[in-house]
Structure 1
């Protein structure tokens, strides 16, 4: 995904306390630039959005929600959003700079992971997802493409574009969304579902993919695919250990009422092997003033000598579909050079 490296060539520009370097990703709706905090020296990824396009297509509330959720879930296994700045023409989202790429690409390059590596990533995934759930946030699109790796190989959950943050007192979600191969059967039923249990199912599919190198449910025809998901029709390859099979069976239970809960996953014998719990996460006060201000009351002086190379953005129907999947960094990169055509793990579309 986001490659390493510094500012590159060209004149550095400044946005607030950040010196802005080269473009490291580009899409219809945004550019992602390498930047550096001049006060701390920390490298960050700066997502630059065109304000007029967001307002014109009434996407402000969706983007505000995604930004607010990312500020709320501050955890070592979730991509960190530092702050939001704005000028009259641009909105700048300052994100943690992740250099290790997607977990998906690691599987594409190397095939299935060892049981020890798969377990370690799964442990970090469960830690991050559990924290999100405790904050009342349900991701709803968990898949290896949305799991990034930092320079130390630690997992970071990204892309909260489809996440739900239900109103107080509301426990059931009703929107059918996510990526078909990873979606829980009850999400397909249109009867309302528990966001935590739906995320847990997706975590089970991810664990299977890490250990197998391919998907448990993978059919070209959606009707056939959904039938297999609803019946939990899948088989284990011979190299799966008994402990892994037992845990996956309990997660990929098509009945959400009897499906294993995250607290039970945490007590599972296979899960606990070599488990290193993260240190207590600080319960920070999260201030959303900068998010609201970026959309409602931009300050012209935030931006210094930052040019508008792209000009106004032109949108077509396909662009709007892409944007509706969330403004994750991964969606801003052209994968055509890196995506092998004969991969056993297909990149499923939302």
Structure 2
């Protein structure tokens, strides 16, 4: 059904959309570093961040970087210039005024050759493009071979697994308690990323064989109570978010030197890397991705959580490119409808005007604005608001003025304009986005089964029972929402079950 709010726009040429101007006021600038090379979009920041977000997205390997086919080639924009400007536009400022560089992403090679329904890659063109990139192919192949050796199931791994199961069983028999989770419960693989506090590694759950990501944070970095509270607030928020399109927090445990945070693994890279590698997305590709983002943000808002840093590099993809995963809840917070929030945080190019004005803002509308910036960027490989410095960027955002590429469809122009309305309460709602004419004829696929399936749950619990965990312990852990290895293993198997659900 077509939305009544859909308004036609001119389809020829490039058009400027001027939205109503918010009351002018001297804006308090978000503190960023003065590096001139990084502020062409007003999004500069310091390379070090006192708060490293929980994420496990992996860099697009060299092979993916050559997925630029003739059909996807974008004339007039040198690839390296487009990439550097796009990267600069995606650096965040935290709620405490500090800033960080999110370009040092986690890296890994793809093991899956499946093609997504959301992204259309041309294999023949890829192979042709790769002929002149022998060195890159060799490096990628060596990295993939190394990963295969690390995760190859061998006799020693099976012995370790059996000993671990025996350890779990004996602990319940002797003490009635589960053994404390240690790093021995996981098989560590390659180091795939760095954060201000530690590193991220890919690993295997030794009981199930599933890939996960482990973030290791050294205790020395979180002795400060403020920093520790910030990290564990993000952990607490992630524990509340159990949705197919949101990165799942699986487990948190501590050793003498480190805090270990176990996360669901997403091996397909992030949208920023995809777009830097191959250019803008088609509207058909963007619809599926954006629909899943709508579902993820709606779940956050229904849970009383605002994200406040929606952008390309916080949208991860699974290895088979069928699902997105919203990540990085480092500046997220709990909020209520109608309350005023005064924190200034987020990525400058994605900031809503009410954040810049700094008179307090209603929380949930700011995510809608950022989604508008994100959709525009997906379709054009460029942010809508660009300036040489932060002050000029703020002025453009406050005016709500941006240029619309002529190749945008009328429906795309309209839905973006409804998200980028400077008047917060006039922005399109998440529900109305799904019924907007831009989604006419679109049918969501692979929707998550959210019903309580007793049979499926019992199958998973029975499987965990073979790992040495008594059924009653697993059920109790789930009911009490305890953070332990049994519940982490359950969540891994549940994720697998939900993806295979038909």
TM-score between the two structures when normalised by the length of structure 2: 0.54
- Range moving further from structure 2, 53-62 or 108-117: 53-62
- Which residue number corresponds to residue 281 of structure 1? 450
Distance 1:21 1:105 in 2: 23
Q: State whether structure 2 residue 163 is matched by structure 1 residue 163.
A: no
Secondary structure of 1:108's partner? helix
Aligned partner of 1:211 among 374, 379, 384 = 379
Residues matched between the structures, number: 290
Q: 1:37 to 1:282 in 2, by over 3 A?
A: farther
- Alpha carbons 1:113, 1:211 under 8 Å: kept: yes
Deviation at residue 76 of structure 1 after TM alignment? 1.1
Deviation at residue 273 of structure 1 after TM alignment? 3.4
Q: 1:275 to 1:174 in 2, by over 3 A?
A: farther
Q: 1:120 to 1:42 in 2, by over 3 A?
A: same
Deviation at residue 224 of structure 1 after TM alignment? 1.4
Deviation at residue 171 of structure 1 after TM alignment? 2.4
Distance 1:16 1:57 in 2: 29
- Which residue number corresponds to residue 201 of structure 1? 369
- Which residue number corresponds to residue 3 of structure 1? 108
Q: State whether structure 2 residue 208 is matched by structure 1 residue 48.
A: no
Secondary structure of 1:23's partner? strand
Q: 1:44 to 1:198 in 2, by over 3 A?
A: same
TM-score between the two structures when normalised by the length of structure 1: 0.77
CA RMSD after TM alignment: 2.5
Distance 1:179 1:169 in 2: 23
Q: State whether structure 2 residue 438 is matched by structure 1 residue 270.
A: yes
Map 1:127-142; keep pairs closer than 5 Å. Answer: 127-142=295-310
Mind listing any 5+ residue stretches in structure 2 that lack a counterpart? 1-57, 59-106, 110-143, 161-181, 453-477, 485-502
Deviation at residue 96 of structure 1 after TM alignment? 1.1
Aligned partner of 2:243 among 53, 75, 84 = 75
- Alpha carbons 2:338, 2:362 under 8 Å: kept: no
Secondary structure of 1:193's partner? coil
Q: 1:177 to 1:8 in 2, by over 3 A?
A: farther
- Which residue number corresponds to residue 494 of structure 2? none
Distance 2:189 2:424 in 1: 48
Deviation at residue 87 of structure 1 after TM alignment? 1.2
Q: 1:127 to 1:57 in 2, by over 3 A?
A: same
Distance 1:70 1:285 in 2: 18
* Higher share of residues assigned helix: 2
Q: 1:211 to 1:169 in 2, by over 3 A?
A: closer
Q: State whether structure 2 residue 417 is matched by structure 1 residue 249.
A: yes
- Which residue number corresponds to residue 191 of structure 2? 23
Map 1:1-350; keep pairs closer than 5 Å. Answer: 1=58, 2-4=107-109, 6=147, 15-56=183-224, 58-153=226-321, 154-166=323-335, 171-276=339-444, 278-281=447-450, 287=481
Q: 1:236 to 1:269 in 2, by over 3 A?
A: same
Distance 2:264 2:294 in 1: 20
- Alpha carbons 2:251, 2:483 under 8 Å: kept: no
Distance 1:286 1:259 in 2: 39
Deviation at residue 88 of structure 1 after TM alignment? 2.1
Distance 2:221 2:197 in 1: 8
- Alpha carbons 2:271, 2:317 under 8 Å: kept: yes
Distance 2:273 2:189 in 1: 26
